[in-house]
Amino acid sequence: MSQVTLIGPPQSSYVRTARICCLEKGVSHTLEPAPQKSDEHRSLHPWTRVPAFRHGDLQLFETSAICRYIDAAFDGPRLIPTDPRRAAVMEQWVSAINCYIYDSTVRNYALKYIVPAFRGEQPDRAAIEAGLPNMQRDVARLDSAYAKSTWMAGESLSLGDLFVAPIAFTVAMFPEGREALGSCRHLTRAVDAFAARDSFAAVHAPA
């Protein structure tokens, strides 16, 4: 069977999630740059986001779909709990990250530092201040996902943790995010557990 290809920049949270998924499953993959906002990009991802994915004649977008395919199609430890309650709780958080938490923590907070820095500009303090309440609120909400155990879905790492890890790493790059995480002891315990895994270290290593 052909090689798995992920399309998107290595520093993107969602690309990191998909790469951690490949690494945890032991699936070798290549990472291709996205043909930024072009017709080619739209043919891979109608909303021109990342990651996109190719495996043989299968093309996918949306990280959860990509990871679920990798989980089901390849050998290696299962990342979706078989227990229906655990699977539902995990899916609840994956959906909440996609619908609310990525925006409050990354798009409307961390990227207000990252994008200006990339352009050699100063961060927009007003935009950062405006994003703080929702970032702090949602980091605290993520903390509750880890109140009962180190892993979101119970006994072992699951897809939900793969969505949380890059977000926690990205938020912790900036002072208010570090402070918010520091006051969340359950999430901090989970972040320590993520950081101890080779997969997490590999995708968060400086480029």
Determine if 63 is a binding residue for ligand GSH (CB under 6 A): yes
The owner of tokens 């570090």 is 178
Q: Is 50 in the site for ligand GSH (CB under 6 A)?
A: yes
What CA–CA distance (Å, rounded) separates 136 from 167?
A: 13
Element housing 59 (H / E): strand 58-61
Q: Which stretch binds ligand GSH (CB under 6 A): 62-70, 121-129, 141-149, 196-204?
A: 62-70
What string of DSSP letters covers 171-193? HTTSHHHHHHHHT-HHHHHHHHH
Among candidate residues 11, 6, 2, the one with its CA nearest the CA of residue 111: 11
Helical H segments across the chain, by residue range: 13-25, 39-44, 63-73, 84-96, 102, 111-118, 125-144, 159-171, 175-182, 185-195, 198-204
Of these, 4, 6, 12, 164, which contacts ligand GSH (CB under 6 A)? 12
Beta bridge partners of 64: none
Q: Is 11 in the site for ligand GSH (CB under 6 A)?
A: no
By CB under 6 A, residue 95 contacts ligand GSH: no
Select 153 or 162, whichever has its Cβ closest to ligand GSH.
162
Q: Find the part of the chain contacting ligand GSH (CB under 6 A) among 57-65, 119-127, 141-149, 196-204.
A: 57-65
- Taking CB under 6 A as the criterion, the residue among 4, 14, 160, 180 binding ligand GSH is 14
Which position's Cβ is nearest ligand GSH? Answer: 49
Binds ligand GSH (CB under 6 A): choice among 49, 141, 186, 197 = 49
Q: Which of 10, 32, 59, 62 binds ligand GSH (CB under 6 A)?
A: 62
Quote the distance between the C-alpha of residue 162 and its chain's center. Answer: 6
Q: Between the CA atoms of 68, 72, 78 and 84, what dihedral angle is there, to the nearest 10 degrees?
A: 70
Q: Which is nearer to ligand GSH, 50 or 128 (CB)?
A: 50
List binders of ligand GSH among 96-135 (CB under 6 A).
98
Q: Note the residues at the interface with ligand GSH (CB under 6 A).
A: 12-14, 49-50, 62-64, 98
